[in-house]
A and B are shown apart, each in its own frame.
Chain A
Amino acid sequence: MKTLILRTASNYLLPILLLFSIFILLRGHYLPGGGFVGGLIASIAFVLHAFANGLKDTKKLLKFHPGFLMPIGLAVSFLAGLLPVIGFDEPFMTGLWMHDTIPVLGALGTAMFFDIGVYIVVQGVTLTIIFTISESA
């Protein structure tokens, strides 16, 4: 499937889709979107790139095995939940919010970091599965 058009297109599509996935992730608290969908879109971007340029190129681009994304994401989510316990003496997973709002994102809080963790895990899981399978297939 290494056609010229797809290959050229995917080189541009990858950054655009990745940006789009981050956009979807961040707006999730106010509009449709969120960590799950964002993570899936990001993995589709990479899968598309792999289809066009071959798995090796994509792996080179990634620089590390996508499996490492899973523990990182889990850690981010867990720390986001743990923060209220350590810093503020509140129960696990209490939502904490900054008083000032930030443009584009709106209010900033632990829930957003939790969602970012979900985003990373989903991406790691999907890419691990698809890469493993296409390697051995």
Chain B
Amino acid sequence: MEFLLAIITGLLYAAGLYMMLRRSMVKLIIGLIIISNGANLLIFLLGRITKGHPPIIPDGSKVFTEIYADPVPQALILTAIVISFGLQSFAIILIKRAYQAVKTDDLDEMNTIEEEIK
């Protein structure tokens, strides 16, 4: 299964990069979302995956008695997910404001407008 997940992660990165390289601003944001998901999955995968054993100490015992999933990457990803929401919303708003200001969705055109303002 790790093999398939590694391929999927690569796919997420590829799709994310492709979207970020487009000239449309909306695609840029979507690309950002895909890549951040890919990064989460990569960290998760590298922490090794375990089926059916969440990192929660069972009732009645004080330490783990069986194998358990690695909690460290999970803690990392949890905050990463929440922070990426903040980043995404900020990016979306930035784009919206930029669109309002320069009336173009084309990242290339934005460049020329910037020069004109000067």
Q: Give yes or no for direct A-B contact (beta carbon below 8 Å).
A: yes
Query: Chain B: interface residue count, which band?
Result: 10 to 19
Q: Which residue of A lies closest to B57 (CB)?
A: A30
A36 to B89, CA, bound (A): 17
A85 vs B1: C-alpha distance when bound (angstroms): 48
Q: Is A32 an interface residue (CB 8 A)?
A: yes
Residues of B within 8 A of A40 (CB): 82
B6 in the interface (beta carbon within 8 A): no
Q: Are A36 and B54 within 8 A (Cβ)?
A: no
Ranked 4 nearest A-B pairs via Cβ: A129-B89, A36-B82, A36-B78, A31-B56
Which of A32, A132, A133 meets B54, CB within 8 Å?
A32
11 A-B contact pairs sorted by A residue (CB < 8 Å): A31-B56, A36-B78, A36-B79, A36-B82, A40-B82, A122-B82, A125-B86, A126-B85, A129-B86, A133-B89, A133-B93
A37-57 interface code vs B (CB 8 A; 1 in, 0 out): 000100000000000000000
- Name A89-135 residues within 8 Å CB distance of B: 122, 125-126, 129, 132-133
Q: Which residue of B lies closest to A130 (CB)?
A: B89
Chain A residue nearest to B79 in the complex (CB): A36
Query: What's the Cα separation between A38 and B93 when bound, in Å?
Result: 25
Report B77 CB to chain A, min CB distance, Å: 11
Q: Which residues of chain B have C-beta atoms less than 8 A from A32's C-beta? A: 54, 56
Give A34's nearest chain B residue, CB to CB: B78
A residues within 8 A CB of B78? 36
CA distance A36 to B86 in the complex (A): 13
B93 cross-chain contacts in A, Cβ below 8 A: 132-133
Q: How far is the CB of B44 from chain A (nearest CB, A)?
A: 16
> How far does the Cβ of B58 sit from chain A's closest Cβ, in whole Å?
11
- List of B residues within 8 angstroms of A36 by Cβ: 78-79, 82
Measured CB to CB, the closest approach of chain A to B33, in angstroms, equals 15
Residues on A with beta carbons closer than 8 Å to the beta carbon of B54? 32
**C-alpha gap A132/B86 in the complex (Å):** 13
Most chain B beta-carbon contacts within 10 A, residue among A31, A129, A132? A129
